[in-house]
Every structure is written in C-alpha cells, then in structure tokens.
C-alpha cells in the first residue's frame, strides 16, 4: 500500500506542481479531443441530438471509479487518504442549479471555457471574464452568504455511507446505471437527430 504517492511523502510540494502541470495537459487534451472547446457541441446535450457531454463524463467517472475501487481492493491505494470535498447539501443543490443555468446560458463550464478560450473562441474568453466577475461578486457578498454556504453540513460523506450500502455494490450500481444511460443516449440521439440533409 503506497498510493496516493503524494500523501505517502513520495515527493514534496514543489514537485507536486510539476505533476499538476502534466496532469493538466492530459485533462485539457482530452476535453478538446471530445469537442468540449465548442459551446455548440456542449449545449447540444440540452437539445438531445448529441449527448457527448453525458457520454464523456460518465465514461470518465466509471473509468476512474473502477480504477480507484480496484486499486484500493488490491491494497495498493488507501481510499481514506483521498481528498473529498465536504457535503454541504443545500448550497451544493443551489450552486448546482446556478451552474446548470450558467451552462446553457453561457455555453461552457469553467474547465471547458478555458479550453475554448485557448483554442480561439472569443465567447469562451468572455465566459472566463464573466466567471471571474461572478467569483468576485461571491467573495464580496461572502459575509452575507456564509451562513447558507456552511448549511446542510454532512462532513465527509460518500454515497455508500449515506445509503448504508457496501462500496463495491454502489460501484456496481453506478456501472449498471451508466451502461443503461449509454444505451438510452444512443436511442435518444437517433430519435432527435436532424434529418441527414441538414448535417
């Protein structure tokens, strides 16, 4: 058992920044490959004729989830050392809704807007400026929002803990859900695809 390497002191903070840059390259590369530097491609998800957002996201979640699960099952990785953002249910529900509104209005999410901006999309650059303005506004209003921001606090909480189910069973259920979702997505795309002449 020696993963996560950083948590076991395999390298220090300075070296972790190099790791960050390398991992970031992979992240940005695959976002762009998937077409996520394009607001039109991303928002097609919400008009049902191209569900790449769902497919890419859930394939990535399932891939990483299975990797993390099997590495910890084999005793190679200590899951308890993995950073988890605390669950604060109410602000996460409200924030999720705002993010969803922002997604279909602005055409991007923060990560994809960076890829859009660096590949020349002017709307992506403007979106990044908007996100900065929003974060500034949030920071200025933070004294007023702090109560809500800290509400619904469940601490470090995973789905297996929340539903009192074994970790492996939840992993299995997510895989089943994803595969069902992929089959559904292929069907929905065929149903809502524009006629061939328009493509």
Partner 1 sequence: MSAVPDAAPAVARPESRAPVRAAAPYSNPYLAGVGLGLVLLAAYVVMGRGLGASGAVTSFVSWALSLVSPAHAKSNEFFTEYLEGGIGHPLKTWLVFEVLGVLAGGFISGALAGRLSRTVEKGPRISVAGRLGFAFAGGALMGIGAKLARGCTSGQALSGGAVLNAGSWAFMMMVFAGAYALAGLMRRQWR
Give the H/E segment covering residue 94: helix 89-106
- Which of 26, 75 has the CB closer to partner 1? 26
Give the C-alpha separation, 130 to 134, whole Å.
Answer: 6
* CB of 79 closer than 8 Å to CB of 72: yes
Residues that contact partner 1, how many (by CB under 8 A)? 130
Q: How far is the CB of 72 from partner 1 (least distance, A)?
A: 10
Say how far apart CA 16 and CA 20 lie, in whole Å.
Answer: 6
Q: Which of residues 63-122 bind partner 1 (CB under 8 A)?
A: 63-65, 67-68, 71, 77, 79, 81-89, 91-116, 118-122
- Establish whether the linkage from the previous residue to 4 is cis, with ω within 30° of 0: yes
8 Å CB contact between 184 and 120: no
Residue 190: how many CA atoms within 13 Å on its side-chain side? Answer: 5
Residue 7 touches partner 1, criterion: CB under 8 A: yes
Question: Least Å distance between CB 196 and partner 1?
Answer: 10
- The Cα–Cα gap between 28 and 36 comes to 9
Least Å distance, CB 184 to partner 1, is: 14
CB nearer to partner 1: give 5 or 187: 5
Rounded to a whole number of angstroms, the minimum distance from the CB of residue 9 to partner 1 is 11
Start-to-end C-alpha separation, the chain: 52
Q: Identify residues 10-49 at the interface with partner 1 (CB under 8 A).
A: 13-14, 16-35, 37-41, 43-47
Rounded to the nearest 10 degrees, what angle do helices 13-33 and 110-118 cross at? 80
Looking at residues 116 to 175 of the shown chain, list those that interact with partner 1 (rule: CB under 8 A): 116, 118-124, 126-140, 142-143, 145-146, 148-149, 154, 157-162, 167, 170-171, 174
Instruction: Write down the least CB distance from residue 24 to partner 1, Å.
Output: 2
């Amino acid at each position: 058992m020696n993963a996560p390497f950083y948590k076991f002191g395999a390298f220090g903070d300075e070296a972790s920044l190099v790791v960050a840059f390398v991992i970031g390259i992979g992240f940005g590369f695959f976002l762009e490959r998937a077409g996520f530097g394009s607001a039109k491609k991303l928002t097609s998800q919400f008009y049902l004729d191209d569900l790449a957002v769902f497919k890419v996201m859930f394939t990535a979640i399932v891939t990483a989830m299975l990797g993390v699960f099997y590495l910890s099952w084999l005793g190679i990785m200590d899951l308890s050392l993995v950073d988890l953002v605390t669950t604060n249910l109410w602000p996460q529900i409200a924030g999720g809704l705002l993010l969803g509104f922002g997604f279909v209005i602005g055409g991007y999410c923060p990560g994809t807007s960076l890829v859009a901006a660096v590949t020349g999309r002017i709307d992506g650059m403007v979106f990044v400026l908007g996100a900065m303005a929003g974060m500034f506004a949030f920071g200025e209003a933070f004294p007023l929002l702090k109560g809500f921001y800290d509400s619904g606090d469940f601490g470090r909480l995973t789905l297996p803990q929340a539903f009192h189910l074994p970790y492996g069973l939840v992993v299995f259920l997510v895989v089943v859900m994803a595969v069902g979702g992929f089959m559904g997505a292929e069907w929905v795309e065929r149903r809502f695809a524009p006629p061939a002449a328009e493509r």
